[in-house]
Amino acid sequence: MSNELAIKIVRKVSAVPRETWDGLLGSGSPFMKWDWLDSFEQTGCVNEETGWLPHHLVVEKGDKIVAVCPLYLKLHSMGEFIFDWEWAEAAHRVGIQYYPKMLVGVPFTPVTGPRFLTAPGEERKSLIRLMGQALAKVAADNKISSVHVNFCLVEERQALEEVGFFPRAGLQFHWQNQNFQAFDDYLASFRSDRRNKIKRERREVAQRGITIQAFEGDDLTRTQMRTMFRLYKGHVDRHYYGRQYLTAEFFDEIHRRFASHVSLMLAEREGKVIAGTFNVRDGTAMYGRYWGAFEEHPFLHFNVCYYSAIEHCIRLGLERFEAGAGGSFKQLRGLDPAPTGSVHYIVEGKFRRAVERFLQQEREMIRQKRDMLLDGSQLKRDTETP
């Protein structure tokens, strides 16, 4: 068998067998699993109409696939959660066509994880560099403005920096499990004033006759998933900035193919679901994705999205809870700032240098912001007692 490497682009993830893709992934992020990515394509969430055109990169050695990455030709910047609209405006002002651009990542999913999957036994760093160089060449040859790799691992970022990609820093709010055995241990980790406020927020929801329960795996029903879709869509429709990225068919497909990784937090009052969150989990962490409510109640959002999710993480022994993009109010619930990273390749020389200067300044601002937020943590210092 030849040891020469060949690179090709496929227009759908199903062009790579499920067992091959997931074999390259191993125990990595659930969002990089073949079923998750294929469900987007099968249910119309990613296609030309939505502005996400699949162009997945595949590396072969002889008749064996040794590396892949999920790649999309993007016609806009929506659904990425690493914001570059100012770059697009700046490019337009100097006569550069910014769209389409190329994106390596998981659609609509601001969760850090591997973006380049490589076979065991292969030189991973060399394959990542090779794929990075191929992406840059495809962009240059086809007059595409840029390549973006979102929410990637540190090792991937470092390998791609060596072939001309620029790093970009970001922040999210994550909860870390400090070997808690019960929700009371979580409460005890707070400073006293915040601990008392959380108790009051939990008590008020309970006094309204609202109960919150987790449903996942075999206990998850299609009806519950359909209800979660209505909650999700209702939340999107109520906000002027809302964007409906997911279809009802996607929720059906995920229930059929991915239920072992789904965890719904559903709030009920008088026997009816009034609110809920759609979460994804693996054996290490839970990831908050979508929220919605049919009724408005004080503190309902915090109880469903954070307190119940964290309580479930403690029950399962998970290491952390990642609540998605944005929302400094999450820090009041014990989620402190955690770094995220992406890398970016800009083709045109002057525009490339301008982006590089911007990113240098932005990284320092992000570092300062994280230090400031950590100083304002609601969690007790090591010297503090309950």
Whether 162 and 237 map to the same domain: the answer is: no
When pLDDT is averaged across residues 70-97 and rounded to a whole number, the result is 96
Shared domain check, 191 and 70: no
**357 in a domain, yes or no?**
yes
Retrieve residue 313's tokens: 């993480």
154 and 10 both lie in a single domain: yes
Q: Are residues 53 and 115 in the same domain?
A: yes
Residues 153 and 188 in one domain: no
Higher pLDDT, 240 or 368: 368
* 287 and 345 both lie in a single domain: no
The pLDDT value recorded for residue 385 is 46
Give the pLDDT of residue 241: 80
Domain with residue 37: its CATH number is 3.40.630.30
125 belongs to a structural domain: yes
Judge if 237 and 347 occupy the same domain. Answer: no
Number of domains in the chain: 2
Query: Domain range for residue 116?
Result: 5-171+340-373
Res 150: pLDDT: 98
Residue 334: inside a domain: no
Read off the pLDDT of residues 124-135 as tens digits, 9 standing for 90 and up: 999 999 999 999
Residue 90 pLDDT class (50, 70, 90 cuts): very high
Residue 333: inside a domain, yes or no?
A: no
Residues 125, 38 within the same domain:
yes
Q: Is 384 a member of any domain?
A: no
Q: Are residues 58 and 121 in the same domain?
A: yes
Residues 24 and 165 grouped into a single domain: yes
- Please determine, for residue 383, whether its predicted confidence score (pLDDT) is greater than 50: no
123 and 202 together in one domain:
no
| DSSP collapsed to 3 states, the chain | CCCCEEEEEECCHHHCCHHHHHHHHCCCCHHHCHHHHHHHHHCCCCCCCCCEEECEEEEEECCEEEEEECEEEECCCCCCCCCCHHHHHHHHHCCCCCCCEEEECCCCCCCCCCCCEECCCCCHHHHHHHHHHHHHHHHHHCCCCEEEECCCCHHHHHHHHCCCCEEEEEEEEEEECCCCCCHHHHHHCECHHHHHHHHHHHHHHHHCCEEEEEEEHHHCCHHHHHHHHHHHHHHHHHCCCCCCCCCHHHHHHHHHHHHHHEEEEEEEECCEEEEEEEEEECCCEEEEEEEEECCCCCCHHHHHHHHHHHHHHHHHCCCEEECCCCCHHHHHHCCEEEEEEEEEEECCHHHHHHHHHHHHHHHHHHHHHHHHHHHCCCECCCCCCC
Q: Is the pLDDT of residue 243 over 90?
A: no
Average pLDDT over residues 307-320: 97
pLDDT in tens, 11-51: 999 999 999 999 999 998 999 999 999 999 999 999 999 99
pLDDT reported for residue 382 = 57
pLDDT at 337 over 60: yes
Q: What is the mean pLDDT of the chain?
A: 95
For 152-206, the pLDDT digits (tens) are 999 999 999 999 999 999 999 999 999 999 999 999 999 999 999 999 999 999 9
Inter-residue contact 87 to 76 (CB < 8 Å): no
For residue 108, is it within any domain?
yes
Q: Let me know whether 299 and 192 are in one domain.
A: yes
